[in-house]
Each structure stands twice: as C-alpha cells, then as structure tokens.
C-alpha cells in the first residue's frame, strides 16, 4: 500500500513538473511552482528526486519519443505509419510539444538527454532501416532520417495539412527511389 502511494505521489509530481516545465521551460521554472501544482511539499519532491536536475531529466525523457518507436518496431506491421501517427498524436498535445522542444534545446546541457536523442537519430534509425529496407546503407539511413525530420517540422510548426495525408506523403517519399 505504501509503495502504491509513493508511486502515485511520484507520478503526481511528474505530471505537475511536465505542466510547469512546458510553460516556463526547465530553467525558469521553480521547484516551488511544481510543489504548489502537485500539492506536495518541496521536501517530498526532493525525497523522490534528489535534485531539480534529476527531475528535469525524468520529465525530459518522457517527452522523447523512444517509447513510440520501440513499440512500433516491436509490434510489426507498417512501422513508419505507426511511428508517424503516434508521433503526431503525442505532440498534438501542446504541453508535450512544448516540453519536447524544451528538451531539444536543453540536450547539450545534459549528457543523458543528449545520448537518448542521439540514440533516436542513430541506432533507432538503423533498426528501422533494417526492418524496412533490409539494409543500413547511407541512402536508406538518410531516407529514415528525412522521415523523422519531416515529423519534427510538423511538431515545430504544424501545417494546415491533414495528419494522415502528411504521414502518408512522408512514407511515400521514404519508400520511393
């Protein structure tokens, strides 16, 4: 029972931090704001997360779409359609979009964030290329990277284009030689 309460409190802190960090960014936001939003004391926050940096890292990792990519690869089927659709769904939420953009801007300050994003841009791209093209040659890696670049452009500045059409067009461009 105690463990469940601790997990619930931790999750409440993370949700509050997500909202506060998305609005203020990682460095302007204070632990005081997060504690008020979560309805817990600063001491409770620091019991769960030893430093503000640890909290930032935990929240930032939630904004990186590695989970989406890994799920889509594991589930099989049309990998790019799965990734594209779930990406746009995740970042349709303005809070998650802002948080992801803050994470990208903070990646050079946190080695762990930088490694997670580089993993997305390297090993995950290779996995997808192997699954789709059965190859890791430069041309296919660039195709997959261009797919992610197209998704990132959508996240940064969503166009007035239907999401399904957008994802389908990205996929068509990746698969066309």
Q: How far apart are CA 157 and CA 3, in angstroms?
A: 41
Q: How far apart are CA 82 and CA 22, in angstroms?
A: 26
- Residue numbers of the domain that contains 98: 64-175
Q: Answer yes or no: do 158 and 102 share one domain.
A: yes
Q: Answer yes or no: do 78 and 149 share one domain.
A: yes
For the segment 25-47, the average pLDDT, to the nearest whole number, is 94
Quick check: 123 pLDDT over 80? yes
For the segment 124-174, what is each residue's pLDDT rounded down to a tens digit? 899 999 999 999 999 999 999 999 999 999 999 888 999 999 999 999 999
Q: Using the 3D structure, point to which of 33, 58, 83 is the last residue of a domain.
A: 58
pLDDT at residue 169 in the model: 96
Q: Answer yes or no: do 71 and 41 share one domain.
A: no
Q: Answer yes or no: do 68 and 51 share one domain.
A: no
* pLDDT range class, residue 30, cuts 50, 70, 90: very high
Q: Answer yes or no: do 93 and 163 share one domain.
A: yes
Taking the model in full, what pTM does it have?
0.82
Cβ of 40: how many Cβ atoms within 10 Å?
18
Cα-Cα-Cα-Cα dihedral sign, residues 129, 131, 136, 140: negative
Q: How far apart are CA 88 and CA 66, in angstroms?
A: 14
Q: Answer yes or no: do 50 and 81 share one domain.
A: no
**Which DSSP state fits 9?**
H
Q: How far apart are CA 14 and CA 55, in angstroms?
A: 8
Average pLDDT over the chain, rounded to whole? 91
User: Do 107 and 118 form a contact (C-beta atoms < 8 A)?
Assistant: no
User: Do 88 and 171 form a contact (C-beta atoms < 8 A)?
Assistant: no
Q: In total, how many domains does the chain have?
A: 2
Q: What angle do CA 76, 158, 29 make, to 5 degrees?
A: 95
User: Do 28 and 73 form a contact (C-beta atoms < 8 A)?
Assistant: no
Q: Answer yes or no: do 109 and 46 share one domain.
A: no
Q: Answer yes or no: do 48 and 71 share one domain.
A: no
Q: Answer yes or no: do 128 and 54 share one domain.
A: no
For the segment 81-110, the average pLDDT, to the nearest whole number, is 92
For the segment 45-77, what is each residue's pLDDT rounded down to a tens digit? 999 999 999 999 889 888 888 889 889 988 878
Q: Answer yes or no: do 80 and 17 share one domain.
A: no
Q: Answer yes or no: do 78 and 131 share one domain.
A: yes
CATH of the domain at 19: 1.10.10.60
Q: Using the 3D structure, point to which of 58, 81, 96 is the last residue of a domain.
A: 58
Q: Answer yes or no: do 82 and 99 share one domain.
A: yes
Strands (DSSP E) contained in the chain are: none
């Amino acid at each position: 029972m105690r463990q469940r309460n601790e997990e619930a409190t931790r999750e409440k802190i993370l949700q509050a931090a997500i909202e506060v960090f998305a609005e203020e960014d990682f460095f302007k936001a204070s632990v005081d704001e997060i504690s008020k939003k979560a309805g817990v004391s600063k001491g409770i926050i620091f019991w769960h997360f030893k430093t503000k940096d640890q909290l930032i890292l935990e929240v930032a990792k939630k904004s990186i779409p590695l989970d989406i990519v890994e799920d889509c690869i594991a589930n099989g089927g049309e990998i790019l359609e799965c990734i594209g659709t779930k990406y746009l769904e995740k970042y349709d939420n303005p809070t998650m979009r802002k948080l992801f953009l803050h994470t990208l801007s903070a990646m050079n300050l946190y080695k762990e964030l930088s490694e997670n994003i580089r993993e997305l841009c390297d090993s995950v791209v290779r996995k997808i290329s192997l699954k789709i093209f059965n190859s890791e040659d430069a041309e296919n890696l660039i195709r997959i990277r261009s797919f992610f670049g197209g998704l990132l452009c959508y996240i940064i500045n969503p166009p007035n284009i239907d999401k399904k059409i957008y994802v389908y067009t990205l996929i068509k461009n990746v698969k066309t030689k």
